[in-house]
Structure 1
């Protein structure tokens, strides 16, 4: 019978495992040999065992615990898929946490020769500054909220601001990157003052290191003061968004035109948006401000600060705007149909007092 089987060494080469690993999986009961010579204890494997061995190899490659490996191998496809997908989410979460911790550690070690330089399109960066800085707080009560957060990475640069009622995020594609990822916090007023100068340039280079931070255009350098504060974990807010109960695309300018008064109620049903005024005291329903015909699905009724929602719409781009709405205690996502890299979150207002 052993003439039709493979030795442990031959089988190990065939499936990309080591003989010691095969012995271990035999001891664990995950991959038993097809035959064991009673006289010398040599293990032999059948060619039909190769698919199981290859799957076992791949599962261990992603560091799946042995108890979960057993589920994937022995308890059916549905159970196996669920285990692998759950493991992937865990691994991705740990990787993200490690990346953020690494950035914090590097940023806290000024003695280390730490340098980062990112090249961006001038007009694109200026546009991002204007869009995002509008969401920063006008008060210095919480210094970080009066700032714009810059998350500098090789593949992406995030420009973020929030005043706790609104959160704006713009993602930019770097034209060049050198050094290590770095996070910076800069006062919104400081960046806004530089936007016109930046926008006139084809390219702008943002350099940061132990000597400070600066924007460089055609050899001219302007200092960018960095604020030493903790910015809210904006990515966890985005990751925690619940699936919307309602989506609607409407004309942006028509929507802006009906956002008058202090508070408005939006009654959305299958793409039609009815906007009514709400009295400041007691939240009594007031006069009809307008009915917008849009494209969408789902139904929901929410209240908003008219000025807050109008501000979010004003910095969007293009003729249309997409709203994703869930509930009164969940932020509404405002997306530009013509600029998918820009997203604003706006908190609703209760209509029941």
Structure 2
């Protein structure tokens, strides 16, 4: 096929194909000796697409040549090494940018208080289990931080789950403040935060600075997009109709042993069971204390399992409100971490 047609099918421009032909990475199958027109065969398409994708992830030409010429296992190893280098370079750039910010001028900072590093790190990891990356909605991958005179509240949501945890800072803030912190940058900072006895938080115009004492500072940028109105969700929940207290370990085990993507919780006077949607599979009994009316609620395992897993302590408390209302998952003895999980729609209904 002529170079133009091959360019359209491979996603490479004609000029890029000429360049890769000249470097020897992708020579044409045939070149007209009179006109100089280049022609490519269908068998070259897979190599062209792989070449394009490797360049899209920043692979240098020498690396591209090595990957394309390697066996599958070796090619995967080379790609992993390249990604690791990119991640390390990004971390180094982030650190240098933080130093550069300070060098450009003293930016006015708002003190947000101090929190024990291990406690803050645990809270960030627990709450971020409810975050999710979605193109076009970066706020869903972030962590909402709200500070007032009494508490530091962390919240994340992917619209199907919502997790929130409240911490009491050792020192109160200068005033109330709220912002959404980039989740990826915060995850990268968790290791340093965890090793610091006390972390001082300061709000800047476009980010949060975590003061780690002798370990230096970590800076995480703010996401400018609006965070979902989680306070409206929390205030409109209404009271629970059924309350269940169960072993976290046994409930997780029952969810893990379900063969399908969904699991059905049946709650009643005889306790709690976890079974399949069609009732054909095993129905596993989980010892539990139940108060309120009987319910049958269907959940996606990928929604309920992380909500239960993130709970603090050996027991979890489930507040159920019906088959189509969010369930609140809390620790039975500590209520400062709360997760909401949406049930799955019953079969045959719109989601």
Q: TM-score range by the shorter chain?
A: 0.5 to 0.7
1:348 and 2:347 are equivalent in the alignment: no
Cα-to-partner distance string for 1:98-122 (whole Å, 9 max, x where unaligned):
xxxxxxxxxxxxxx96723321111
Map of 1:176 onto structure 2: 171
Whole-angstrom CA distance in 2 between matches of 1:144 and 1:329 = 25
- Cα displacement (A) at 1:197: 1.2
* Structure 2 residue aligned with 1:196: 191
Asked whether the 8 Å contact 1:248–1:271 carries over to 2, the reply is no
Deviation at 1:329, TM superposition (A): 2.6
1-structure distance, mates of 2:325, 2:220? 35
Pairing partner for 2:303 from 289, 295, 308:
308
How far apart are 1:211 and its partner, in Å?
Answer: 7.4
Q: Based on CA coordinates, which of the two structures has the bigger radius of gyration? A: 1
Partner of 1:160: 155
Cα separation, 2, equivalents of 1:210 and 1:287:
55
| Structure 2 residue 332 is the aligned partner of structure 1 residue 333 | no
Kindly indicate whether the alpha-carbon contact (under 8 Å) linking 1:114 and 1:179 is maintained by their aligned counterparts in 2: no
1:1-353 → structure 2 map (5 Å cutoff) = 115-210=110-205, 212-219=207-214, 220-259=216-255, 260=258, 261-270=260-269, 272-278=271-277, 284-298=278-292, 299-353=294-348
* TM-score normalised by the chain length of structure 1: 0.64
Mapped partners of 2:331, 2:270: distance in 1? 17
Separation in 2 of the partners of 1:136 and 1:236?
A: 18
- Which secondary structure does the structure 2 equivalent of 1:343 belong to? strand
- Any conservation in 2 of the 1:265–1:351 contact (CA below 8 Å)? no
Structure 1 residue runs of 5 or longer lacking an equivalent are 1-111, 279-283
More divergent stretch after superposition (176-185 vs 165-174): 176-185
Corresponding residue SS for 2:238: coil
Whole-Å separation in 1 of the counterparts to 2:212 and 2:254: 42
Asked whether the 8 Å contact 2:307–2:329 carries over to 1, the reply is yes
Distance change in 2, residues 1:236/1:211 (3 Å): closer
- Superposed CA RMSD in Å reads 1.8
Note closer, same or farther for the CA distance 1:136–1:147 as it changes in structure 2 (3 Å cut).
Answer: same
Unaligned runs of 5+ in 2: 1-106
The answer to whether the Cα contact below 8 Å between 1:323 and 1:335 also exists between their aligned partners in 2 is: yes
Instruction: Identify the residue that residue 65 of structure 1 maps to in structure 2.
Output: none
> Residue 285 of structure 1: CA displacement?
2.9
Task: Assess if the C-alpha contact under 8 Å between 1:114 and 1:180 holds in 2.
Answer: no
Please state which structure has a larger fraction of its residues in strand.
Answer: 1
Number of residue pairs matched by the alignment? 237
**Distance in 2 (alpha carbons) for counterparts of 1:141 and 1:212:** 20
Q: CA offsets per residue over residues 269-313 of structure 1, 9 Å max, x none?
A: 0361111112xxxxx333124011211212111100012111111
Structure 1 residue 124: Cα displacement: 1.1
Offset of residue 166 of structure 1: 0.1
* Counterpart for residue 84 of structure 1: none
Distance 1:322 1:189 in 2: 30
After superposition, the C-alpha distances for 1:320-353 in whole angstroms (9 at most, x for unaligned) are 1000101133100001123210000000013342
